[in-house]
Structure 1
Amino acid sequence: MIDKAPDGWAGRVLADGRGLLLVDGLDEVTQDDREDAHTWLSGLLARYPDTRCVATVRPHAVAPDWLAAESFEELTLLPLRGEDIQAFVTAWHDAARLDADERDRAALDDLERDLAQQFRLNPNLAELARTPLLCAVICALHRLREGFLPETRWELYDSALAMLLGTRDERRRVDAPDGIRMSVEEHQQLLQRLAAWLVRVGQTEFTREQALQRVERTLPGMPRVQAQGTPAEVLTHLINRSGLLQERTDDVFHFAHRTFQDFLAAKECVEDDCLPELLRHAYDQQWHDVLLLAAGHCKRRDLPVLVEGLLKAGSGTRRRDLKTTLYVMAALCAQHAAWLDEGLRRRVENAVRSVIPPRNPPQAAQLARLGGSVLPLLPSPEDVPKDGVGHVVELIAAVGGAEALPYARSFSEAGLGQHFGASWAAFPAEAFAHQVLAHLSGPEVVVVPTSRHLELLGDLPGLTSVILAGGFTVEEITRHLGSRPLSYLAWIPDHTGFAVLESLDTSRLTVIMLVRARSGTALGPLAGLPALRHLSLVNLEPDGRPLDLTPLHGLADLTVTVNGVLREDVLGADVLGDRLTLT
């Protein structure tokens, strides 16, 4: 039981700087109201300036600097990786076991082991679970289907809707809730018209009156449902029982997740023979998911029209980023086809090949959506322009896994492996160490994410520059790095402090990076490192104390870079002068 918060409690927490404000889905605010939302958030943060705030928004929905005046830092939520997915699976089943009896807990244990194994062995399934929502849906479907799962993203959404709109009540033996009984398809026919209307008018929210109008227009074609209740009663049933519609504020509703809105809108557009309308919006990012999901609803005669239309739209723009996106979408749609004309498949492949190699990270990320199918289209290491190698490596690492390993190895054998130093976690750990990292040496920086990766450093004695990204103990670090003459070392001091330096060979250590160190961390132990030339403090965490750099004044050749602190909160900044950089 959680007690009700006292009057004024939220204001006091924010005023004391003890609050974390989470603002979810700014892109779901209508365009007309978005500036009002901006004004509201700006005013709230001005009133409570010590409040930490995280605001989420879909990519490209607002300008990149939309909240720059409020000192927001823009971050991208990365897809879940293998270890993230495994951790989520464990947490999901732990939560499910809380309400289970002994027999169900045993079954959940078996299901958890089976699903974890499926994620390890099936890269296509792992690709579907890159967001927490879909990972949760997969866990639920896996339990519901007693271990059997859909294979494609479209089938996953389709199965999730079947679960939410039909089988959930059936399994709970809930019969005719609200006095109305509808099939999955009848639910979808009503919801998809509402979803298509929202997409067409560019909204994500609707009032009860607006939804009622859609229901009233649809029911005459659904006599079995119409006979069971008034339009208002049918709408109440949809809101109460579908699991897809949620009340945001009084009399204002939205789909529980935008993906389901887009899936249902795509179904309506295909069934209503509106592919030309969809394709007219090919240049609008807000319609892209609808276009992609339409592919799964298309029949054999319709899918080539969709693919051809996306190819035409891609060839009709000079913006390379948009061209890449549209060609990738055409290829993703083509993947839905059980049969597609060979000539059209070749045209899709040639279109994708025309935007390879990628020229920037967004293009690499778009191409990575094709998964392993993009890898055979990549140029050889010798044919990649020098300034494009990094982006090709980004693409290979974003695909990751065993299928991308040969491509990573070819670049490493060509002397370009240094670009893979941050990508170890994306590949099978041991194979990547022996086939890719073994070709590196000395100053090439390698990110070490887990204890298993740290152990494998023993097979790579030539590496002297490491970033310890995991929460390792001093004993682990000493055991695997103790005798290695390091030149570059990064770690999280909250886990080990500076005790790690006492057992390492620091005689050649020229660069140190401290990640998420507290501002009051005593830096005195670094003053005894004779070769130290650069110190970086990344994402410094304020703890109410100033950052004291005075112990480092004796290192005349030292430069310092600090991220996350103001100059007035740094002691000893004047002595360092231009050798100190604050970002």
Structure 2
Amino acid sequence: MDPGVVSARLASSAVAPLVKKLFVSAGAGAGLVDRPVRVSSLVSFSGEKRTLTGRDLVKIATELLRRALGPVSAHERPIAAAEEEPVALALAHTLYRLGELEMDDVQAVQLGAPTLVRALKEAGPDVTRDLSADAAQLHDTLLDNACLHILHFFTQRSTFVARTLVRQSGQLADVIAKTDLLLARTPAPFSKDALFEERYAAHIVNKHGMLTIYGIDLSRSPDQWPLDTAYLSLEADLAHETRQAPIRAEHAFHGRDRVLLRGVAGSGKTTLVQWLAVTAAQQDINVIGSGDSALVPLIRRVPFVLPMRTLTRQHADLPTPEEFLSRTRCPLAAAQPPGWADRVLAAGRGLILVDGTDEAPANVRERARRWLQDLLSTYPGNLWLVTSRPSAVRDRWLAAEQFTELSLAPMRQHDVTSFIHRWHNAARSVSAEEERHLLDAYEVSLNLAVRTKHDLARLATNPLMCGLICALHCDRRGYLPSGRKELYEAALSMLLTRRDLERDMAPPDGIELTEEPKIRLLQRLAYKFILNGKAELDRSHAERIIEQTLPGVPVAAAQGDAFAIFQHLLLRSGLLREPAVGSIDFIHRTFQDYLGAKAAVEEGDMSLLVLRATETQWEDVIRMAVAHARPGECAEFLMDLVRRGDSATSSYRRSQLHLLATAAVEHATELAPRVRAAINERAGALIPPRNLAQANDLAGIGTVALELLPGPDGLTDDEALFTAHTAVLIGGDAAIPVLARYQAHPTPQVRQLLCTAWHRFDAVSYAESVLSGLVGTGVYLEVTGAEELAVLGRMSSPRQVRVAAGFTSSDLVRELRADRLTHLWLPGDQSVTWYWLAAFPRLESLTLGPAEEPIDVSSLAAHPTLRLLRLPQHQLIAGRDSLGDGVIVSRFPHDGEFGHD
């Protein structure tokens, strides 16, 4: 292959950051020195200043190779795919010789890149012995390019004796500049692709690298916060796997490449999409690769963020790959090289993020599924994430396409506490000194309120609601509304009126509207969004709606025309935004649904709501309509839902309508007993749940369902399991007494579910009420956090414990009960040696989970009582023959399979 072609692909912007990682950085304030420095003392992968491991060095070499090969199809690649890893390993071994060189940095620069290359190859002459001729030549070309940048890096260090080497430094800079110029001018597709991908990655980071934290409206407060600061890692449950432990949502692609993610409004679906896109675009292989191995699949990926609301706004068809950027209004669409998106996807380098399937019209969703099928069959090997509200698409909607279904779990107490802390930290960062002291006090009092007030805890289940609660608590000096309707009313008051009034801000556009006319205009706009089945409208359409509404709102009509009033609402309401030129949407769907429901009730469209009740996009509108309706209207509306459910010919429709009526009841301020009884009777036919789908449906109702969940008496084993699972999904303090009824259930799967669910609840309350009754039941108690481990040390019951990653051996020795523990389940890489297990003399069995490296179990032979060791079969490598006659090595169960002796 032509070495010049490889070099042309390696712009300085691509190579320099990788080379920089090979060396330690100069200390702060370092200046020129009067003597050279040995090269071996500068490397970051050996010696006292070591910050990189050998594995990190391999990752750098792999990334350098990846950037050299570029985004070309398999038949255009200069070496076979099977040879890429050996080339990267050989390059890593050669670069490792930098730590053995006797020459100093001045000598290296004076002698030049060819001499440095020769010295490294002489130090490791056999690294390319087993490579093909093409692969060896590729190794040498990569090494030549790396050495050129290494020497240039030396000349840029503040401690380099630059005054004696001006000429050499200038020559190196000139060679690198010419390489960059060659790359910019060459007509080859790979070079244009690489240049464009750098621009596109910067665009993704810039566009999606900020999050809106709703309601922070203190003085000098920005509207957005950096994603890496504001992002909160949440959990996701694997659908159809009742005994599988939850995973972190950002680990969706760990072990899977096609994911359908469900989540309620405000649960963080779009935020996760942003985080995945930005993480892939940044391509920091040290952060992704070494920081969290579950994120490795994101390396080398090109993200495509495809909001369904935008894709379907003006077009009946869905885009081809070449149209991805233009249809999402990416400003770089016209600059993409012809065929670029096809080359990316054909090479299996794409990260396709289809966000908000529920925001597409119902008649488009099946077409979207066929669109996905075509893309999947044409472009295998990419990563695919599709998000949706829970009931917008049917169960196993993409199962035939091998999608794994995940559901974002409600925030648990630890998540809520973390969110509250991050929110107040963000507010403190832009506040005056006196405000910071107030914010400290607000944070403490809000944490206490969320823990002790049941109604408030029910609301704080997703990032959106937590953000509103934090904002309102601060805005109202510690006062909080109790119900969802009151919460939204208070949030609207804060966003629409009080923010500007309390800042003493004069209207910048000369328009002054009070809260009521703003709400009238916005609710009419929201209702039109809903009636049109859209989450996004053309700006001209939105202005026409305001124009039609203005005659009924004279105080607004007197201050300007439709354009001026709409512009005022867009800029000052805090509820509307223009994500792309000419496109308007609400900042969040929940505000749209709340205001649209208010308009529907005021316009007397309750019958229309009943007709639309089976359409998933209307579910929250119907619930909020119950909150807005007067008692008589509310009763008749709910009975109409019940009657329509009774007359449904489909059992699915019947259950859907009855559950919707049950879910809506909790929003009714006043309701006739006969109506409540009729609804409860229908709900009783659906309880207890008999499968996972029914459990998920019931959990969607919320805490109302907890009152209807029965105890274990008279239930089959499956009914008991799914009833307990429903209570776990609903969560909150109110679920604890329900789960306590199942602590002595004879089925191990039910008791194991109680042990696995501990992390979703307050650690102390759950341990006292539920776990204390599980003495001697033969199931593993799962510990995932420091608070749980601390509580565990005070419990007398647990004999069998499963511990998550993140704890040190000292933590476990200190907290676990040595006089009780008989069975322990640990991550495979918990320890290098296992001598510390001698602290548990009664330990009978040890289960080790999978590990990246082979596990050395030879030290277990010294344990006096250990009789059972479970390991992944493929990892029975080290120490197998030294375990002793009394120790049995057996198959490791699948994750989620809880066995006991």
**Secondary structure of the residue that 1:466 maps to in structure 2?**
strand
Tell me: CA distance 1:465–1:536, structure 2 relative to 1, closer, same or farther (3 Å): farther
Q: 1:240: Cα distance to partner?
A: 1.1
Structure 2 match to 1:450: 785
The correspondence for 1:316, drawn from 633, 647, 657, is: 647
Between the two proteins, what is the percent identity of the paired residues?
31
Query: Which is worse superposed, 142-151 or 334-343?
Result: 334-343
Counterpart of 1:276 in structure 2 is 607
Instruction: Tell me the equivalent position of 1:578.
Output: none
SS at match of 2:744: helix
Cα 1:353–1:527 change in 2 (3 A) is farther
For residues 360 and 199 of structure 1, do their structure 2 counterparts lie closer, same or farther at Cα, with a shift above 3 Å needed?
A: same
User: For this pair of structures, how many residues does the alignment match?
Assistant: 545
- Flag the 1:526–1:256 CA change in 2: closer, same or farther, 3 A: farther
State the alpha-carbon separation in 2 of the partners of residues 338 and 371 from structure 1: 17
Whether 1:379 aligns to 2:704 is: no
How much is the aligned-residue C-alpha RMSD, in angstroms? 3.6
Opposite residue 476 of structure 1, the aligned amino acid is: D
**Contact 1:415 1:439 (C-alpha < 8 Å) held by counterparts:** no
1:559 match: 891
Are 2:664 and 1:333 equivalent residues in the alignment?
Answer: yes
CA contact (8 A) 1:328 1:370 kept: yes
Distance 2:322 2:848 in 1: 41
CA distance in 2, matches of 1:182, 1:442: 65
1:30 aligned residue (312, 318, 332): 312
Structure 2 CA distance for aligned equivalents of residues 321 and 553 of structure 1 = 55
Distance 1:45 1:349, change over 3 A: same
Residue matched to 2:247: none
Contiguous gaps of at least 5 residues in structure 1: 1-5, 538-546, 564-583
Following superposition of structure 1 onto structure 2, how do residues 239-250 of structure 1 map, counting pairs within 5 Å?
A: 239-250=570-581
Matched, 1:124 2:407: no
SS in 1 for 2:405: coil
Task: Write the mapping of 1:145-156 to structure 2, written as runs, cut at 5 A.
Answer: 145-156=476-487
Distance 1:410 1:18 in 2: 50
Cross-structure match for 1:522: 854
> Are the aligned partners of 1:412 and 1:418 in contact in 2 as well (CA < 8 Å)?
no
Taking structure 1 as the reference length, the TM-score comes to 0.82
Structure 1 residues 375 and 65: CA distance shift in structure 2, 3 A: closer
What does 1:92-107 correspond to in 2, within 5 Å?
92-107=423-438
- Equivalent AA in structure 1 for residue 676 of structure 2: R
Residue 474, structure 1, aligned to residue 809, structure 2:
yes
Does the 8 Å CA contact 1:358/1:388 hold for their aligned counterparts?
A: yes
Contact 1:311 1:348 in 2 (8 A): yes
| 1:235 corresponds to | 566
Q: Which amino acid aligns with 1:49?
A: R
Which residue pairs with 2:847 in the alignment?
511
Rounded to whole Å, the distance in 2 between the matches of 1:485 and 1:471 is 20
CA distance in 2, matches of 1:60, 1:501: 51
Judge which range, 186-195 or 371-380, deviates more.
371-380
For residues 428 and 208 of structure 1, do their structure 2 counterparts lie closer, same or farther at Cα, with a shift above 3 Å needed?
Answer: closer
Name structure 2 gaps, 5 residues minimum.
1-194, 202-279, 286-298, 325-340, 352-382, 896-901
The superposition leaves residues 298-350 of structure 1 with CA deviations (integer Å, 9 ceiling, x where unpaired) of 11221012211222233334665654443333234333334322211211222
> Aligned residue for 2:622?
291
1:303 aligns to 2:634 (yes or no): yes
1:421 aligns with 2:755: yes
Please name the residue that 1:567 is paired with. none
- Which residue does the alignment assign to 1:80? 411
Could you say which residue in structure 2 is the equivalent of 1:49? 349
Once the two structures are TM-superposed, the CA of residue 366 in structure 1 deviates from its matched residue by: 3.4
Rate the CA distance shift 1:371–1:511 in 2: closer, same or farther, 3 A: same
Q: SS of the counterpart of 1:383? A: coil
Q: Any idea what SS the aligned residue of 2:694 has?
A: helix
Distance 2:392 2:879 in 1: 45
Separation in 1, partners of 2:517, 2:304? 36
Task: Tell me the CA shift for residue 192 of structure 1.
Answer: 1.7
Q: C-alpha distance in 1, partners of 2:310/2:892? A: 41
Hey, what does 1:572 align to over in structure 2? Answer: none
TM-score by length of 2: 0.55
Deviation sequence 1:528-550 (CA, Å, 0-9, x none): 5785564469xxxxxxxxx9764
Residue identity matched to 1:289:
D
Contact 1:474 1:499 (C-alpha < 8 Å) held by counterparts: no
The AA in structure 1 aligned to 2:847 is V
Cα distance, 1:390–1:93 mapped onto 2, change above 3 Å: same
Q: Distance in 2 between matches of 1:462 and 1:119?
A: 29
- Write the distance in 2 (CA, Å) between the matches of 1:94 and 1:75: 31
Secondary structure in structure 2 of the residue aligned to 1:246: strand
Deviation at 1:353, TM superposition (A): 1.7
Equivalents in 1 of 2:646, 2:893: separation in Å?
45
Partners of 1:492 and 1:174 lie apart in 2 by 60
**CA distance in 1: counterparts of 2:674 and 2:397, whole angstroms:** 44
Give the match for residue 350 of structure 1: 681
- Per the TM alignment, residue 277 of structure 1 is displaced from its structure 2 partner at its CA by 0.5
Shift of 1:213: 1.3
Residue 150 to residue 431, structure 1, CA distance change in 2 (3 Å): closer
* Equivalent AA in structure 1 for residue 349 of structure 2: P
Matches within 5 A, 1:78-227: 78-227=409-558
Distance in 1 between residues matched to 2:834 and 2:481, nearest whole Å: 47
Larger Rg: 2
- Tell me the equivalent position of 2:798: 463
CA contact (8 A) 2:593 2:621 kept: yes
Q: Which has the higher contact order (CA 8 A, sep 6+)?
A: 2
Corresponding residue number in structure 1 for 2:127: none
Contact 1:359 1:391 in 2 (8 A): yes
Q: Distance in 2 between matches of 1:486 and 1:27?
A: 55
Distance 2:571 2:733 in 1: 45
The 3-state SS of whatever aligns with 2:741 is helix
Deviation at 1:155, TM superposition (A): 1.5
Equivalent-residue separation in structure 1 for 2:641 and 2:489 (angstroms): 23
Aligned partner (choices 729, 735, 742) of residue 398 of structure 1: 729
The structural deviation recorded for 1:487 is 3.3
Asked whether the 8 Å contact 2:411–2:460 carries over to 1, the reply is yes
